[in-house]
Structure 1
Amino acid sequence: MAGLKRTISTGTTRLSARASPYNAGATSFESDTNPASPRRSKRIKLEPKVEETLEDIVETKERAVKVESATSGASKKAGVAKTPRKPKPIPQALAVPHPAPPKWQETYTTIKQMRARILAPVDTMGCDQAQHKETDPKTKDEVTDAAVSKLRDALGGSLTVDALIVADDATISEAIGKVGFWRRKTEYIKKTAQRLRDDFDSDVPKTVDELCSLPGVGPKMAFLALQVAWDLYLPYFSLAMTPT
Protein backbone atom coordinates (compact mmCIF):
# COMPACT_ATOMS: atom_id res chain seq x y z
CA MET A 1 0.00 0.00 0.00
CA ALA A 2 2.88 2.30 0.73
CA GLY A 3 4.00 2.15 -2.89
CA LEU A 4 0.55 2.49 -4.39
CA LYS A 5 0.35 5.48 -6.70
CA ARG A 6 -2.67 6.84 -8.48
CA THR A 7 -3.03 9.88 -10.70
CA ILE A 8 -5.74 12.57 -10.41
CA SER A 9 -6.27 15.14 -13.19
CA THR A 10 -7.51 18.66 -12.25
CA GLY A 11 -7.81 19.96 -15.82
CA THR A 12 -4.48 21.73 -16.15
CA THR A 13 -2.41 19.98 -13.46
CA ARG A 14 -1.88 16.26 -12.86
CA LEU A 15 -1.58 15.21 -9.21
CA SER A 16 -0.19 11.87 -8.09
CA ALA A 17 -1.53 10.43 -4.83
CA ARG A 18 0.56 8.09 -2.75
CA ALA A 19 0.40 6.80 0.78
CA SER A 20 2.50 8.72 3.21
CA PRO A 21 5.55 6.80 4.36
CA TYR A 22 5.25 8.47 7.75
CA ASN A 23 1.57 7.81 8.44
CA ALA A 24 -0.32 4.88 6.97
CA GLY A 25 -3.63 6.70 7.38
CA ALA A 26 -2.52 9.79 5.41
CA THR A 27 -2.26 10.36 1.66
CA SER A 28 0.13 12.84 0.05
CA PHE A 29 -0.34 14.46 -3.36
CA GLU A 30 2.50 15.44 -5.69
CA SER A 31 2.37 17.43 -8.91
CA ASP A 32 3.51 15.75 -12.11
CA THR A 33 4.40 19.17 -13.65
CA ASN A 34 8.06 19.52 -14.47
CA PRO A 35 9.44 22.18 -12.11
CA ALA A 36 12.13 23.03 -14.64
CA SER A 37 9.56 24.46 -17.04
CA PRO A 38 6.78 26.05 -14.99
CA ARG A 39 3.63 27.06 -16.79
CA ARG A 40 3.63 30.78 -17.58
CA SER A 41 0.59 32.65 -16.38
CA LYS A 42 -1.33 34.70 -18.92
CA ARG A 43 -2.43 37.14 -16.29
CA ILE A 44 -0.91 40.63 -16.51
CA LYS A 45 -0.01 42.28 -13.27
CA LEU A 46 -1.35 45.81 -13.23
CA GLU A 47 0.38 48.53 -11.29
CA PRO A 48 -1.91 50.31 -8.85
CA LYS A 49 -3.25 53.57 -10.32
CA VAL A 50 -1.88 56.61 -8.56
CA GLU A 51 -4.17 59.61 -8.64
CA GLU A 52 -2.48 62.89 -9.59
CA THR A 53 -2.92 65.52 -6.91
CA LEU A 54 -3.21 69.27 -7.43
CA GLU A 55 0.28 69.71 -6.03
CA ASP A 56 1.63 67.29 -8.63
CA ILE A 57 -0.07 69.22 -11.45
CA VAL A 58 1.29 72.56 -10.22
CA GLU A 59 4.78 71.12 -9.79
CA THR A 60 4.67 69.69 -13.32
CA LYS A 61 3.62 73.02 -14.80
CA GLU A 62 6.28 74.92 -12.85
CA ARG A 63 8.90 72.49 -14.08
CA ALA A 64 7.73 73.00 -17.67
CA VAL A 65 7.92 76.80 -17.26
CA LYS A 66 11.46 76.55 -15.92
CA VAL A 67 12.50 74.37 -18.83
CA GLU A 68 10.93 76.80 -21.31
CA SER A 69 12.58 79.76 -19.60
CA ALA A 70 15.96 78.04 -19.66
CA THR A 71 15.51 77.21 -23.35
CA SER A 72 14.55 80.80 -24.11
CA GLY A 73 17.57 82.09 -22.21
CA ALA A 74 19.85 79.74 -24.11
CA SER A 75 18.38 80.97 -27.40
CA LYS A 76 19.05 84.59 -26.43
CA LYS A 77 22.64 83.75 -25.52
CA ALA A 78 23.02 82.07 -28.88
CA GLY A 79 21.88 85.25 -30.61
CA VAL A 80 18.39 84.05 -31.50
CA ALA A 81 16.00 86.94 -30.78
CA LYS A 82 12.27 87.11 -31.28
CA THR A 83 10.91 89.62 -33.74
CA PRO A 84 9.34 92.50 -31.78
CA ARG A 85 5.60 92.83 -32.27
CA LYS A 86 4.62 95.93 -34.17
CA PRO A 87 2.28 98.08 -32.06
CA LYS A 88 -1.22 98.46 -33.42
CA PRO A 89 -2.04 102.13 -34.08
CA ILE A 90 -4.76 103.69 -31.96
CA PRO A 91 -7.63 105.08 -34.09
CA GLN A 92 -7.89 108.86 -33.82
CA ALA A 93 -11.40 109.05 -35.29
CA LEU A 94 -14.20 106.74 -36.30
CA ALA A 95 -14.52 105.88 -39.96
CA VAL A 96 -18.29 106.31 -39.67
CA PRO A 97 -19.41 108.74 -36.92
CA HIS A 98 -22.12 107.58 -34.59
CA PRO A 99 -25.50 109.12 -35.37
CA ALA A 100 -26.65 111.67 -32.82
CA PRO A 101 -29.37 110.30 -30.49
CA PRO A 102 -32.74 112.06 -30.62
CA LYS A 103 -33.11 115.05 -28.30
CA TRP A 104 -29.51 114.69 -27.12
CA GLN A 105 -28.95 118.43 -26.97
CA GLU A 106 -31.94 118.99 -24.67
CA THR A 107 -30.66 116.21 -22.38
CA TYR A 108 -27.14 117.62 -22.38
CA THR A 109 -28.41 121.10 -21.50
CA THR A 110 -30.50 119.71 -18.63
CA ILE A 111 -27.52 117.84 -17.21
CA LYS A 112 -25.39 120.99 -17.35
CA GLN A 113 -28.05 122.91 -15.42
CA MET A 114 -28.25 120.18 -12.78
CA ARG A 115 -24.46 119.97 -12.42
CA ALA A 116 -24.19 123.72 -12.01
CA ARG A 117 -25.94 123.37 -8.64
CA ILE A 118 -24.01 120.30 -7.42
CA LEU A 119 -20.33 120.15 -6.42
CA ALA A 120 -19.01 116.68 -7.27
CA PRO A 121 -15.57 115.19 -6.51
CA VAL A 122 -14.68 115.49 -10.18
CA ASP A 123 -14.92 119.27 -9.81
CA THR A 124 -12.22 119.46 -7.13
CA MET A 125 -9.92 116.55 -7.93
CA GLY A 126 -8.97 114.27 -10.78
CA CYS A 127 -6.53 114.46 -13.69
CA ASP A 128 -7.69 117.90 -14.80
CA GLN A 129 -7.32 119.34 -11.28
CA ALA A 130 -3.98 117.79 -10.28
CA GLN A 131 -2.04 120.07 -12.59
CA HIS A 132 -3.30 123.15 -10.74
CA LYS A 133 -1.43 121.96 -7.63
CA GLU A 134 1.89 121.64 -9.45
CA THR A 135 4.72 124.15 -9.59
CA ASP A 136 6.05 122.38 -12.69
CA PRO A 137 3.51 122.73 -15.55
CA LYS A 138 4.87 119.64 -17.32
CA THR A 139 3.77 117.44 -15.19
CA LYS A 140 -10.22 109.98 -10.31
CA ASP A 141 -11.38 109.98 -7.33
CA GLU A 142 -10.82 110.72 -3.62
CA VAL A 143 -8.43 107.80 -3.11
CA THR A 144 -6.35 108.59 -6.19
CA ASP A 145 -6.23 112.30 -5.41
CA ALA A 146 -5.09 111.59 -1.86
CA ALA A 147 -2.39 109.22 -3.14
CA VAL A 148 -1.13 111.80 -5.66
CA SER A 149 -1.05 114.49 -2.97
CA LYS A 150 0.87 112.20 -0.63
CA LEU A 151 3.34 111.30 -3.38
CA ARG A 152 3.78 114.99 -4.22
CA ASP A 153 4.65 115.75 -0.59
CA ALA A 154 7.05 112.78 -0.43
CA LEU A 155 8.92 114.11 -3.46
CA GLY A 156 9.36 117.60 -2.09
CA GLY A 157 6.23 119.38 -3.27
CA SER A 158 6.05 118.66 -7.01
CA LEU A 159 5.70 115.57 -9.20
CA THR A 160 8.60 116.16 -11.56
CA VAL A 161 10.15 113.55 -13.81
CA ASP A 162 13.57 113.93 -12.20
CA ALA A 163 12.13 113.59 -8.69
CA LEU A 164 10.35 110.34 -9.66
CA ILE A 165 13.51 108.90 -11.22
CA VAL A 166 15.70 109.47 -8.15
CA ALA A 167 12.99 108.37 -5.69
CA ASP A 168 13.27 104.79 -4.46
CA ASP A 169 10.45 102.29 -4.92
CA ALA A 170 9.63 102.24 -1.21
CA THR A 171 8.88 105.98 -1.17
CA ILE A 172 6.48 105.71 -4.10
CA SER A 173 4.83 102.54 -2.82
CA GLU A 174 4.24 104.00 0.63
CA ALA A 175 2.57 107.07 -0.90
CA ILE A 176 0.24 105.24 -3.28
CA GLY A 177 -0.38 102.19 -1.09
CA LYS A 178 -4.13 102.91 -0.82
CA VAL A 179 -4.79 102.54 -4.55
CA GLY A 180 -5.33 99.23 -6.29
CA PHE A 181 -2.37 97.31 -7.76
CA TRP A 182 0.04 99.72 -6.09
CA ARG A 183 3.06 97.43 -6.53
CA ARG A 184 2.56 97.26 -10.29
CA LYS A 185 1.82 100.96 -10.51
CA THR A 186 5.02 101.76 -8.63
CA GLU A 187 6.92 99.95 -11.37
CA TYR A 188 4.89 101.75 -14.06
CA ILE A 189 5.62 105.17 -12.54
CA LYS A 190 9.37 104.56 -12.43
CA LYS A 191 9.53 103.25 -15.99
CA THR A 192 7.29 106.02 -17.32
CA ALA A 193 9.41 108.73 -15.73
CA GLN A 194 12.50 107.22 -17.35
CA ARG A 195 10.80 107.11 -20.76
CA LEU A 196 9.56 110.67 -20.46
CA ARG A 197 13.07 111.92 -19.74
CA ASP A 198 14.83 109.86 -22.40
CA ASP A 199 12.31 110.04 -25.27
CA PHE A 200 10.07 113.07 -24.67
CA ASP A 201 12.30 115.73 -23.11
CA SER A 202 10.60 115.22 -19.71
CA ASP A 203 7.28 116.36 -21.13
CA VAL A 204 3.90 114.78 -21.92
CA PRO A 205 3.71 113.18 -25.41
CA LYS A 206 1.34 114.81 -27.88
CA THR A 207 -0.09 111.77 -29.65
CA VAL A 208 -2.26 108.89 -28.52
CA ASP A 209 0.18 106.28 -29.83
CA GLU A 210 3.11 107.84 -27.96
CA LEU A 211 1.09 108.02 -24.75
CA CYS A 212 -0.03 104.40 -25.09
CA SER A 213 3.62 103.35 -25.46
CA LEU A 214 4.14 104.31 -21.82
CA PRO A 215 3.77 101.49 -19.25
CA GLY A 216 0.23 101.17 -17.93
CA VAL A 217 -1.32 103.84 -20.20
CA GLY A 218 -4.35 102.88 -22.32
CA PRO A 219 -6.37 104.76 -24.94
CA LYS A 220 -8.85 106.24 -22.46
CA MET A 221 -6.16 107.85 -20.32
CA ALA A 222 -4.26 108.89 -23.44
CA PHE A 223 -7.21 110.89 -24.77
CA LEU A 224 -7.82 112.45 -21.36
CA ALA A 225 -4.14 113.41 -21.07
CA LEU A 226 -4.21 115.10 -24.48
CA GLN A 227 -7.28 117.06 -23.48
CA VAL A 228 -5.88 118.13 -20.10
CA ALA A 229 -2.19 118.59 -20.93
CA TRP A 230 -2.44 120.01 -24.46
CA ASP A 231 -6.08 121.16 -24.68
CA LEU A 232 -6.65 118.83 -27.63
CA TYR A 233 -10.23 117.66 -28.21
CA LEU A 234 -10.03 114.88 -30.76
CA PRO A 235 -12.95 113.98 -33.03
CA TYR A 236 -12.80 110.44 -31.63
CA PHE A 237 -14.66 111.73 -28.59
CA SER A 238 -16.63 114.64 -29.97
CA LEU A 239 -17.94 113.41 -33.33
CA ALA A 240 -21.51 114.56 -34.03
CA MET A 241 -22.38 114.99 -30.34
CA THR A 242 -20.28 118.08 -29.72
CA PRO A 243 -22.62 120.74 -28.32
CA THR A 244 -22.99 123.89 -30.33
Structure 2
Amino acid sequence: MAPVLRGENVTVERGGSVILDGISLDVADDTSLLVRGPSGAGKTTLFNVLGLLSTPTSGSLFVNGEDASSLPERKRAAIRRDTIGFVFQDFQLIPDLSAWDNAALPQDHTGSRDESWLETLFDALDITDLREQYPTTLSGGEKQRVAIARALANKPDVVLADEPTGQLDPNTAERVLDLLFRVKAQTDTALVLISHDRGLAPRFAETVLLQDGRITDADDDELESIDYSPRQ
Protein backbone atom coordinates (compact mmCIF):
# COMPACT_ATOMS: atom_id res chain seq x y z
CA MET A 1 0.00 0.00 0.00
CA ALA A 2 1.29 3.46 -0.90
CA PRO A 3 2.08 5.88 1.92
CA VAL A 4 -0.59 8.45 2.71
CA LEU A 5 1.95 11.15 1.88
CA ARG A 6 5.24 10.83 0.05
CA GLY A 7 7.56 13.69 -0.71
CA GLU A 8 10.25 13.07 -3.30
CA ASN A 9 13.11 15.58 -3.58
CA VAL A 10 10.82 18.48 -2.58
CA THR A 11 12.49 21.85 -3.03
CA VAL A 12 11.01 25.26 -2.33
CA GLU A 13 12.75 28.48 -3.38
CA ARG A 14 11.59 31.99 -2.61
CA GLY A 15 13.27 35.22 -3.60
CA GLY A 16 16.47 33.45 -4.49
CA SER A 17 16.61 31.61 -1.14
CA VAL A 18 16.21 27.86 -0.75
CA ILE A 19 13.66 27.16 2.01
CA LEU A 20 13.41 23.39 1.49
CA ASP A 21 16.28 21.57 -0.18
CA GLY A 22 15.50 18.16 -1.64
CA ILE A 23 13.23 16.80 1.11
CA SER A 24 12.16 13.16 0.75
CA LEU A 25 9.97 11.43 3.34
CA ASP A 26 7.11 8.97 3.66
CA VAL A 27 4.10 9.15 5.96
CA ALA A 28 2.78 5.62 6.32
CA ASP A 29 -0.82 4.75 7.07
CA ASP A 30 -1.64 4.99 10.80
CA THR A 31 1.83 6.20 11.82
CA SER A 32 2.84 9.13 14.01
CA LEU A 33 5.64 11.30 12.66
CA LEU A 34 7.31 14.21 14.44
CA VAL A 35 9.09 16.77 12.25
CA ARG A 36 11.20 18.88 14.54
CA GLY A 37 13.87 21.52 14.20
CA PRO A 38 14.78 25.07 15.16
CA SER A 39 12.82 28.14 14.12
CA GLY A 40 13.59 29.03 10.53
CA ALA A 41 14.38 25.44 9.55
CA GLY A 42 11.53 25.30 7.02
CA LYS A 43 9.01 23.35 9.13
CA THR A 44 5.96 25.47 8.33
CA THR A 45 6.89 25.51 4.64
CA LEU A 46 7.02 21.72 4.72
CA PHE A 47 3.64 21.69 6.50
CA ASN A 48 2.15 23.78 3.70
CA VAL A 49 3.60 21.55 0.99
CA LEU A 50 2.48 18.31 2.66
CA GLY A 51 -0.99 19.81 3.09
CA LEU A 52 -1.26 20.95 -0.55
CA LEU A 53 -1.50 24.54 0.66
CA SER A 54 1.47 25.47 -1.50
CA THR A 55 3.35 23.84 -4.37
CA PRO A 56 7.05 23.01 -4.39
CA THR A 57 9.41 24.68 -6.81
CA SER A 58 10.55 21.20 -7.83
CA GLY A 59 10.08 17.63 -6.71
CA SER A 60 6.86 15.69 -6.21
CA LEU A 61 4.27 15.13 -3.50
CA PHE A 62 2.18 11.96 -3.70
CA VAL A 63 -1.10 11.57 -1.79
CA ASN A 64 -2.19 7.93 -1.52
CA GLY A 65 -0.03 7.18 -4.53
CA GLU A 66 -1.31 10.03 -6.73
CA ASP A 67 1.11 12.75 -7.78
CA ALA A 68 -0.61 15.89 -6.52
CA SER A 69 2.23 18.29 -7.28
CA SER A 70 0.80 19.75 -10.46
CA LEU A 71 -2.92 19.11 -10.09
CA PRO A 72 -5.31 22.02 -10.67
CA GLU A 73 -6.39 23.85 -7.54
CA ARG A 74 -9.92 22.46 -7.60
CA LYS A 75 -8.56 18.90 -7.42
CA ARG A 76 -6.03 19.85 -4.74
CA ALA A 77 -8.83 21.42 -2.68
CA ALA A 78 -10.85 18.21 -2.95
CA ILE A 79 -7.88 16.15 -1.73
CA ARG A 80 -7.35 18.54 1.17
CA ARG A 81 -11.01 18.26 2.12
CA ASP A 82 -11.25 14.49 1.88
CA THR A 83 -7.79 13.28 2.88
CA ILE A 84 -6.06 15.82 5.13
CA GLY A 85 -7.06 17.37 8.43
CA PHE A 86 -5.29 20.55 9.60
CA VAL A 87 -4.48 21.81 13.09
CA PHE A 88 -2.96 25.28 12.77
CA GLN A 89 -0.71 26.96 15.29
CA ASP A 90 -3.06 29.96 15.52
CA PHE A 91 -6.22 27.78 15.51
CA GLN A 92 -7.84 29.69 12.57
CA LEU A 93 -11.37 29.41 13.97
CA ILE A 94 -14.03 31.64 12.42
CA PRO A 95 -15.10 34.20 15.07
CA ASP A 96 -18.78 34.42 14.14
CA LEU A 97 -19.34 30.65 14.11
CA SER A 98 -19.99 28.55 17.20
CA ALA A 99 -17.53 25.86 18.24
CA TRP A 100 -19.88 23.26 16.74
CA ASP A 101 -20.17 25.06 13.41
CA ASN A 102 -16.42 25.64 13.25
CA ALA A 103 -15.82 21.93 13.74
CA ALA A 104 -18.45 21.08 11.11
CA LEU A 105 -16.92 23.26 8.37
CA PRO A 106 -15.15 20.41 6.51
CA GLN A 107 -18.42 18.48 6.45
CA ASP A 108 -20.31 21.53 5.23
CA HIS A 109 -17.89 21.76 2.32
CA THR A 110 -19.01 18.28 1.26
CA GLY A 111 -22.66 19.28 1.57
CA SER A 112 -23.53 16.82 4.33
CA ARG A 113 -23.12 16.89 8.10
CA ASP A 114 -22.52 13.80 10.20
CA GLU A 115 -23.88 15.01 13.53
CA SER A 116 -23.25 11.67 15.20
CA TRP A 117 -19.53 11.77 14.34
CA LEU A 118 -19.26 15.36 15.55
CA GLU A 119 -20.86 14.32 18.83
CA THR A 120 -18.33 11.48 19.13
CA LEU A 121 -15.46 13.92 18.58
CA PHE A 122 -16.77 16.51 21.01
CA ASP A 123 -17.25 13.82 23.63
CA ALA A 124 -13.74 12.40 23.08
CA LEU A 125 -12.25 15.90 23.32
CA ASP A 126 -14.38 16.79 26.37
CA ILE A 127 -15.86 19.91 24.75
CA THR A 128 -19.53 18.92 24.50
CA ASP A 129 -20.49 21.78 26.82
CA LEU A 130 -18.71 24.27 24.52
CA ARG A 131 -20.64 23.50 21.34
CA GLU A 132 -22.70 26.73 21.36
CA GLN A 133 -19.85 29.00 22.48
CA TYR A 134 -17.91 31.28 20.16
CA PRO A 135 -14.12 31.40 19.79
CA THR A 136 -13.76 34.71 21.65
CA THR A 137 -15.14 33.03 24.80
CA LEU A 138 -12.78 30.04 24.65
CA SER A 139 -9.38 29.54 26.23
CA GLY A 140 -6.38 28.59 24.10
CA GLY A 141 -6.70 24.94 25.04
CA GLU A 142 -10.42 24.93 24.26
CA LYS A 143 -9.83 26.55 20.88
CA GLN A 144 -7.23 23.92 20.10
CA ARG A 145 -9.64 21.10 20.96
CA VAL A 146 -12.25 22.59 18.63
CA ALA A 147 -9.56 22.84 15.94
CA ILE A 148 -8.73 19.15 16.47
CA ALA A 149 -12.42 18.24 16.12
CA ARG A 150 -12.52 20.23 12.87
CA ALA A 151 -9.39 18.45 11.61
CA LEU A 152 -11.03 15.06 12.18
CA ALA A 153 -14.54 15.98 11.01
CA ASN A 154 -14.17 14.31 7.61
CA LYS A 155 -12.28 11.28 8.98
CA PRO A 156 -9.11 12.18 7.06
CA ASP A 157 -6.32 9.75 6.27
CA VAL A 158 -3.76 12.06 7.88
CA VAL A 159 -3.78 14.98 10.32
CA LEU A 160 -1.13 17.69 9.95
CA ALA A 161 -0.53 19.75 13.08
CA ASP A 162 1.72 22.81 13.00
CA GLU A 163 3.06 23.62 16.49
CA PRO A 164 -0.32 22.69 18.01
CA THR A 165 0.96 23.22 21.55
CA GLY A 166 3.18 26.22 20.88
CA GLN A 167 0.80 28.82 22.35
CA LEU A 168 -0.35 26.71 25.30
CA ASP A 169 0.91 26.44 28.86
CA PRO A 170 2.73 23.15 29.64
CA ASN A 171 -0.22 21.45 31.36
CA THR A 172 -2.68 22.36 28.61
CA ALA A 173 -0.15 21.40 25.95
CA GLU A 174 0.23 17.95 27.50
CA ARG A 175 -3.53 17.44 27.60
CA VAL A 176 -3.92 18.52 23.96
CA LEU A 177 -1.17 16.11 22.90
CA ASP A 178 -2.84 13.31 24.86
CA LEU A 179 -6.11 14.10 23.08
CA LEU A 180 -4.46 14.05 19.65
CA PHE A 181 -3.07 10.58 20.29
CA ARG A 182 -6.31 9.33 21.86
CA VAL A 183 -8.42 10.42 18.90
CA LYS A 184 -5.76 9.16 16.49
CA ALA A 185 -6.06 5.72 18.08
CA GLN A 186 -9.83 5.83 17.75
CA THR A 187 -9.78 6.85 14.09
CA ASP A 188 -6.69 5.04 12.68
CA THR A 189 -5.52 8.37 11.30
CA ALA A 190 -1.88 9.09 10.56
CA LEU A 191 -0.49 12.04 12.54
CA VAL A 192 2.25 14.41 11.42
CA LEU A 193 3.21 17.00 14.01
CA ILE A 194 5.53 19.91 13.29
CA SER A 195 7.34 21.26 16.33
CA HIS A 196 10.54 22.82 17.65
CA ASP A 197 10.05 20.89 20.92
CA ARG A 198 12.65 18.11 21.12
CA GLY A 199 10.95 16.72 24.23
CA LEU A 200 8.07 15.33 22.14
CA ALA A 201 10.12 12.71 20.27
CA PRO A 202 9.57 9.76 22.66
CA ARG A 203 5.82 9.87 22.00
CA PHE A 204 6.14 9.39 18.24
CA ALA A 205 6.79 6.29 16.18
CA GLU A 206 9.11 8.23 13.87
CA THR A 207 11.04 11.48 14.11
CA VAL A 208 12.89 13.48 11.48
CA LEU A 209 15.01 16.54 12.13
CA LEU A 210 14.80 19.48 9.76
CA GLN A 211 17.66 21.95 9.76
CA ASP A 212 18.37 24.66 7.19
CA GLY A 213 15.73 23.19 4.90
CA ARG A 214 17.17 19.69 4.90
CA ILE A 215 16.53 16.46 6.77
CA THR A 216 19.67 15.81 8.76
CA ASP A 217 21.16 12.69 10.30
CA ALA A 218 22.59 14.58 13.28
CA ASP A 219 23.30 12.40 16.30
CA ASP A 220 22.00 13.06 19.81
CA ASP A 221 25.00 15.16 20.85
CA GLU A 222 24.59 17.36 17.79
CA LEU A 223 20.86 17.72 18.43
CA GLU A 224 21.55 18.96 21.94
CA SER A 225 23.78 21.70 20.52
CA ILE A 226 21.12 23.11 18.20
CA ASP A 227 19.59 26.41 19.31
CA TYR A 228 15.83 25.77 19.39
CA SER A 229 14.92 29.23 20.64
CA PRO A 230 12.87 31.39 18.24
CA ARG A 231 14.93 33.63 15.99
CA GLN A 232 14.54 37.36 16.40
Q: Shared fold (TM-score greater than 0.5)?
A: no
Q: Which has the higher helix share?
A: 1
TM-score, normalised to structure 1, is: 0.26
Q: Which has the larger radius of gyration?
A: 1
Q: Which has the higher strand share?
A: 2
Bigger relative contact order (CA 8 A; separation at least 6): 2
TM-score, normalised to structure 2, is: 0.27
